[in-house]
Amino acid sequence: MEKPNNHQTGGALGTPIPLVNLARYEVDARVITDMAIYRRELEQLWARSWLLLGHDSEIPRSGDYMIRYMGDDAVIVTRDRDDQIQVMLNACTHRGMAVCRAEMGRANTFICPYHGWTFGLDGRLKMTPVANQRMEGNLLSRQELGLKKARVGIFCGMIFATFDGGAPPLEEFLGDAAWYLRLMYDRSGNGLEVLGPPQRWLIDGNWKLAAEQFVGGDAYHVMTLHRSIFEMGLIGNVADITADEAPGAMGWDIAFPEGHSFRCAPMDFSPIFGKERAEKMTAREKLLALPPPGMTPALVEEMFTRFDDEQLQMMADRPPTVGGLFPNVGTHNFLWPHPDGGILGAAYGLHAFIPRGPDRVEWWNWQLVEKDAPKELKDRIAETCIMAVGPTGMLEADDGECWPFMQRVAKGAEAGRGVTGVIKYHAMIGENRPGDWPPSAGGTVSEGFSKDDGQWAFWRRYNELMGDGAGE
Amino acid sequence: MSDAQLFVNAPEVPLDSPDRIRATDPTYWQLHEFLNDEAALLDADQLLQWLELTADDVRYRMPVRVGVHRGFGDGFARRMYFYNDTKKVLAMRIHRLVGTRNGWVEDPPSRTSRFVTGVRAYTSDKPEEFVVHSKLLLTRSRSDLGEVKLLSAHRLDRLRRQGGDIKLANRDIYLDQTTINMHNMAVFL
C-alpha cells in the first residue's frame, strides 16, 4: 500500500494540506478532528514511540498486574516470577478476547474467559483445554501463540514500552531530557512510589490539545487560565503575572529534538533569608533550607550523593517544575501550600493522555511521593496534590475546561479556514542559553517569558513521525 | 495474599443492626431532610450556604476506585482521592469559584441535580452523631451540549447534632466509576 505523505493526509478534499508548516510555525486545525489523521497517528506515532504505562511501585510483588493503554491497544503489565516487568497485548491469540478484565490484581496465569487458553505472567501460552484435542491446531506452535510482547524500558521507576522492534533504546528516545528528568524523579536512594492507582477522567477533545500544553511546557496560559490561583495568593500573586511585565512568568524553556520539553522556574531565596544572605548561600545550603517539593532535609542529604555540582546548582536555583515527554506524558513537581498550615505540600507526579478517538482523550494522573518520606509528608501530599492537579485540582480543572470547547471550534467549516484555521506558534525565542547554564545540561534553552519554543518542539517531532519516513 | 492492604471495601450494609434508626423514628426523617436540604443548596449553586452546613472538623473524601476481581475487595484506593479535604480546603475551593473572577471551570456554572435515595441511618458511638448511608445520582449539564454527564455513588456520612442544627461531620463518597466521564469536577457530591 502506498503511504500518503504528510502533506496529503488531510486529503478528504483532494487538495494537499500541510499539517505542520515548519516555515510559518503553524499547525492545520484539522489534526484535531480528522479520523484519517488519527488512524495515521496510531500507526506512525503511537506504534513507534516509547509510551509511559505507569510506575513500578504499582506492581511491587511478583504476580501483580495492571491494565494499561498504548495508543488504542490495551496491554497487561505484570511483574513475573523473575521480578521482571513484562508488557503484553491484552488480546487472546485465539479469537482476540481480552484475557484480563480486572484493572489490577494478582495472578499466576491469565485464563481467557472465552475458550480457556491460558497464558503465563510472561505471556507464554501454557495450555489450551482440552489437552488431548490440541485445540490450537497444527498451523502454529504454542511458542508462536503467546500474547504479543512489547519491549520494556524502566527509567526512574517509570515503566515505558513499545511494540516497535526497530525503535531506538529508551535512553536514546529520552535523549538529553533524561538529565532534567532525573532532577525531578531520581533524587533519593530508594526512589518514589505512587500514592495509589491513578485518577482517570475523560475529556471530549483531541489528545494533542492536552499533550501540546504539557509536553510543550506551556507556561504562558498560567497567567490567564490559572489567574484565580494568583488572585488567591496560592503560588504567587496577581502582580507577579501582570500583563505588562509579568515578572513571575520568567524562566527557562528547555526543548529537545525528541519532542520533549521542560519549564525551569527561578527560585528566589531573598524573601526568606534576605537578599544579602541569599546571594551568599551555596546550592547545598539552599536545598537544605527549602527542600525540593516532596523532600525532607534527610532526603536532600541523599540527593547530594546522587547529583553532581551542576545538577545541585540547577536544583537550587532553576529547578524543572513542569514539562513532558513526547508524545503524551506530563511531568510536574512544585510546592503547594495547605490552608490548615503545617508542613508544606506538593503537587508531584505524572500525567498520561490516552487517545480515545480523534475527539476524546482520557487523562491519567499518578501522584508520587518519596518512598522514604515520613508518613506525615505522604499524607500531606495526598491532600495537596489533588488540590492542584487532577479533575478536581484547582489548576487542572480549568485546563480541562478549554479542550472540549477547542474541539467544538475545530469542527466548524469557517473556523477551519483562513487565519483561524491554523493553530499558531508564532512567538518563538529560539536558543538564548545563558552563559552560566550547566554544560552537561542539553537541549535548546530559551530564557525569558515562556513562549512557544517547547510546544513547537512537540509539533516538529509530530511532523517527523507523521511524515513519509522523515525522522527515521 | 495481602491485597486487602491495597484496597478498601465499600461500606457494609448492616440491615439488621441494633443501631439502626428505623423509618418510623422522627430522627430518621430529620437526617433524611438534612440530606435533601444540602442537595438542594448545591443544586441551586448556594455554595457558601452549603459550606455552613459542614462542621468545622469536617473531612470530605472521595477515593479513586479500580475494578478488581471478586476476592480482591471493592477496589477503593487507600490514599489516592479525588477529594481529600478539610473545611478550609472546601472553603478555598468554593472561594475560587465564587470569590475570584477567574474560576473558569464553573463559570458559567454547570446545571446540576442531585437525586438522593436509599437513606439508611444508624446511631453511633457518640450520642450526638449518626451514621447515614445514602445513594446519590448527580446529573451535570454544561454549556449547550445535549449530553448530560452522570456520577453515581454510595455516600457514608457522619451527621452531628450541634445546638438545634445538624452538621455534616464526615463524608466518604464511594464512586461506581473508575474513569470519570467529565472533563473536570468542581461540583460537590
B17-73 per-position pLDDT tens digit? 999 999 999 999 999 999 999 999 999 999 999 999 999 999 999 999 999 999 888
Rounded CA-CA distance A310/A50 in Å is 28
Residue A76: name the closest of A170, A148, A158 by CA. A148
pLDDT digits (tens, 9 = 90+) for A403-422: 999 999 999 888 888 888 89
SS3 B53: coil
- B175 to chain A: which residues are within 8 Å by CB? none
Put simply, whether A105 touches B (Cβ < 8 Å) is yes
Residue B141, φ and ψ in degrees, nearest 5:
-110, 135
Name the minimum distance, in Å, from the CA of B81 to any CA of chain A.
7
pLDDT at residue A318 is higher than 60: yes
**Cα torsion through B102, B103, B109, B113, rounded to 10:** -170
Cβ A377 vs Cβ A385: under 8 Å? no
Rounded CA-CA distance B33/B116 in Å is 10
CB contact under 8 A, B83 and A195: no
The mean of the pLDDT values for chain A is: 92
pLDDT digits (tens, 9 = 90+) for A179-199: 999 999 999 999 999 999 999
For a pLDDT cut of 70, what percent of chain A falls above it? 95
Cβ A462 vs Cβ A259: under 8 Å? yes
Name the minimum distance, in Å, from the CA of B185 to any CA of chain A.
5
Beta-ladder partners of B155: B134, B173
pLDDT at residue A14 is higher than 90: no
pLDDT at residue A469 is higher than 80: no
pLDDT band at A339; cut points 50, 70, 90: very high
Query: And the C-alpha cell for A323?
Result: 514539562
Query: And the C-alpha cell for A306?
Result: 546522587
Rounded CA-CA distance B6/A105 in Å is 10
- A401 to chain B: which residues are within 8 Å by CB? 104-105, 183-184
Average pLDDT estimate for A251-268 = 95
Residue A308: name the closest of A451, A219, A208, A440 by CA. A440
Average pLDDT estimate for A459-463 = 95
Where on the phi/psi map is residue A288: left (φ > 0), alpha (ψ -120 to 50), or beta? alpha
CATH code linked to domain B3-8+22-175: 3.10.450.50
pLDDT band at A10; cut points 50, 70, 90: very low
Put simply, whether A401 touches B (Cβ < 8 Å) is yes
Listing DSSP states for B125-139 in one string gives SSTTEEEEEEEEEEE
Query: What pLDDT sits at residue B73?
Result: 87
pLDDT at residue A261 is higher than 70: yes
pLDDT at residue A460 is higher than 90: yes
pLDDT at residue A1 is higher than 70: no
Name the minimum distance, in Å, from the CA of B130 to any CA of chain A.
26
Q: For residue A327, is the peptide bond before it cis, meaning its omega torsion is within 30 degrees of 0?
A: yes
pLDDT at residue A106 is higher than 90: yes
Cβ A53 vs Cβ A161: under 8 Å? yes
pLDDT at residue A8 is higher than 90: no
Q: Which of B70, B72, B97, B104 to substitute to test the interface with A, most A CBs within 10 Å?
A: B104
CB burial of A413-429 (b: ≥16 within 10 Å; e: otherwise) equals eeebeeeebbbebeeeb
CA distances from A139 to A92, A136, A242, B90 (A): 17, 8, 70, 63
Q: Which of A61, A64, A201, A399 to substitute to test the interface with B, most B CBs within 10 Å?
A: A201
CB contact under 8 A, A200 and B103: no
Rounded CA-CA distance A230/B25 in Å is 50
Query: And the C-alpha cell for A74?
Result: 490495551
Query: What pLDDT sits at residue B140?
Result: 97
CB contact under 8 A, B80 and A367: yes
For a pLDDT cut of 90, what percent of chain A falls above it? 83
Query: What pLDDT sits at residue B8?
Result: 86
pLDDT at residue A334 is higher than 70: yes
- A379 to chain B: which residues are within 8 Å by CB? 79
Put simply, whether A195 touches B (Cβ < 8 Å) is yes
Residue A89, φ and ψ in degrees, nearest 5:
-65, 135
pLDDT digits (tens, 9 = 90+) for A412-451: 888 888 888 899 999 999 999 999 999 999 999 999 998 9
Rounded CA-CA distance A54/A77 in Å is 9
Nearest to A196 among B64, B102, B178 (CB): B64
pLDDT at residue A17 is higher than 60: no
Nearest to A200 among B68, B84, B179 (CB): B179
Query: What pLDDT sits at residue B145?
Result: 80
pLDDT digits (tens, 9 = 90+) for A135-161: 999 999 999 999 999 999 999 999 999
Residue A336: name the closest of A285, A288, A377, A391 by CA. A377
ipTM of the complex: 0.96
Direct distance between the N- and C-terminal alpha carbons of chain B, in angstroms, rounded to an integer: 34
Query: And the C-alpha cell for A153?
Result: 524500558
Cβ A428 vs Cβ A25: under 8 Å? yes
Rounded CA-CA distance B29/B37 in Å is 12
Query: What pLDDT sits at residue A401?
Result: 92
Rounded CA-CA distance A282/A275 in Å is 14
> Residue B163 CB: number of other CB atoms within 10 A?
6
CB contact under 8 A, A199 and B79: no
Average pLDDT estimate for A323-347 = 96
pLDDT at residue A165 is higher than 60: yes
Nearest to B95 among A101, A232, A386 (CB): A232
Name the minimum distance, in Å, from the CA of B17 to any CA of chain A.
33
Query: What pLDDT sits at residue B5?
Result: 60
pLDDT at residue B95 is higher than 80: yes
Cβ A55 vs Cβ A190: under 8 Å? no
pLDDT at residue A237 is higher than 90: no
What distance lies between CA A238 and its chain's CA centroid? 29
Three state DSSP letters for chain A: CCCCCCCCCCHHHCCCCCCEECCCCEEEHHHHCCHHHHHHHHHHCHHHCCEEEEEHHHCCCCCEEEEEEECCEEEEEEECCCCCEEEEECCCCCCCCCCCCCCEEECCEEECCCCCCEEECCCCEEECCCHHHCCCCCCCCHHHHCCCECEEEEECCEEEEECCCCCCCHHHHHCCHHHHHHHHHCCCCCCEEECCCCEEEEECCCHHHHHHHHHCCCCCCHHHHCHHHHHCCCCCCHHHHCCCCCHHHEEEEEECCCCCEEEECCCCCHHHHCHHHHHHCCHHHHHHHCCCCCCCHHHHHHHHHHCCHHHHHHHHHCCEEEEEECCCEEEEEEEECCCCCCCCEEEEEEEEEEECCCCCEEEEEEEEEECCCCHHHHHHHHHHHHHHCCCCCCCHHHHHHHHHHHHHHHHCCCCCCHHHHEEECCCCCCCCCCCCCCCCCCCEEEEEECCCHHHHHHHHHHHHHHCCCCCC
Put simply, whether A225 touches B (Cβ < 8 Å) is yes
